[in-house]
Each structure stands twice: as C-alpha cells, then as structure tokens.
Amino acid sequence: MKKVSFILNGENRSVYVEPNDLLLDVLRDKLGIKSPKYGCGRGDCGTCTVLLNGKSVRSCLILAVEIDGQEIMTLEGISKDGLTELQEYFLKHNSFQCGYCTPGMTLTLEEFLKKNPKPNEEEVKEAISGNLCRCTGYIPIIRAVMEYVKNRGG
Ligand code: FES
Ligand code: FES
C-alpha cells in the first residue's frame, strides 16, 4: 500500500492505495465520493469524469497513485454551497432522467464553459460528445446550456 495525499474538493486528504487501484474506485469506495460512476471502464462514456487540476479526465483510466500532490474536484465539490447556476438550468429543462451521466456531463461543461464562455450550439454539442447519455436525447441538456449562456450575458 502507498499513501497518496491530494486536495479533494478543496480539502487535504490522504488515503492508502494499492499500486493498481483506479482513481474511480478509490473515490467511490474509500472516500465516499459517489458522483463519478462506472460506465464502460475504458474511457468511452464519460460517466466517471472528474476534474484533475481543473481539467476533465476519466477517473477509470487513472491510477490513484498518480494523483499524489494534485487537485481533484468532483460534483460534490462544485456544488457544496448549493446548486450551481448551470445545475439550476438542468433542473428547469429536465436535462436528466436517470441522472447517471449528469455528474460527468456537468463537470465536462464546467471546464468547457470556463474556456469558452460564449459557445454556439455546435460547440456545446462537440464539448459533450464524449459524455454518453442514454435517456435524454441530449436536446434538454443543450437547451439548458444555451439558456444558461444567454442569461449570464454570453
Ligand atoms: S467509466 Fe470511465 S469513461 Fe466510461
Ligand atoms: S440521464 Fe440517464 S444517461 Fe443521461
């Protein structure tokens, strides 16, 4: 076992991990962070997305030992003071059904909208193209994002 220390949702955390433990499993099973989900386990679906130093990554593809000294943000972190404005638009537009994809989708959009605060619809579609949603058909998600962008002055 190796001790890894890192910042998780703004707090210093340490945990002992095996060399082959995946970040996704350590977050869920050892640290009680349940928003990243297991979907495909091979980087295709985006349900396990977290932010690593502000950049969206697939936690099913990262070894927990790799995150020593780094910063992880999950949905629990971005919404710890209440729903974000984008999440409010997700609610308004019923942008989820089962919700399985929603944490990963939200974090992907979080990163994207920081880099591109005024995207057009095609850019939004492209941004979430790596996050699979089996329920919504994507339309309510895109509506929520576009209204959010419009109303915040984008
Ligand atoms: S579970 Fe990681 S990308 Fe699908
Ligand atoms: S809301 Fe069910 S997979 Fe997206």
40 lines ligand 1 (CB under 6 A): yes
Query: What is the residue range of 120's domain?
Result: 85-151
Answer yes or no: is 80 within a domain: no
Per-residue pLDDT of 28-82, as tens digits, reads 999 999 999 999 999 999 999 999 999 999 999 999 999 999 999 999 999 999 9
Predicted model pTM: 0.95
What is the spatial distance between Cα 23 and Cα 25, in angstroms, rounded to a whole number?
6
Three-state secondary-structure class, residue 124: helix
Tell me, what CATH number does 42's domain have? 3.10.20.30
What is the spatial distance between Cα 107 and Cα 128, in angstroms, rounded to a whole number?
10
Q: If you average pLDDT over residues 95-121, what whole number do you get? A: 97
The residue with tokens 């099913």 is 60
What is the spatial distance between Cα 127 and Cα 105, in angstroms, rounded to a whole number?
9
Q: CB–CB of 150/98 below 8 Å?
A: no
Closest-CA residue, ligand 2 atom 4, reads 133
Output the CA 49–ligand 2 centroid distance in Å: 14
Domain stop point among 75, 101, 128: 75
99 lines ligand 2 (CB under 6 A): yes
| Banded pLDDT at 152 (limits 50, 70, 90) | confident
| CA-based radius of gyration for the chain | 16
Domain stop point among 75, 102, 122: 75
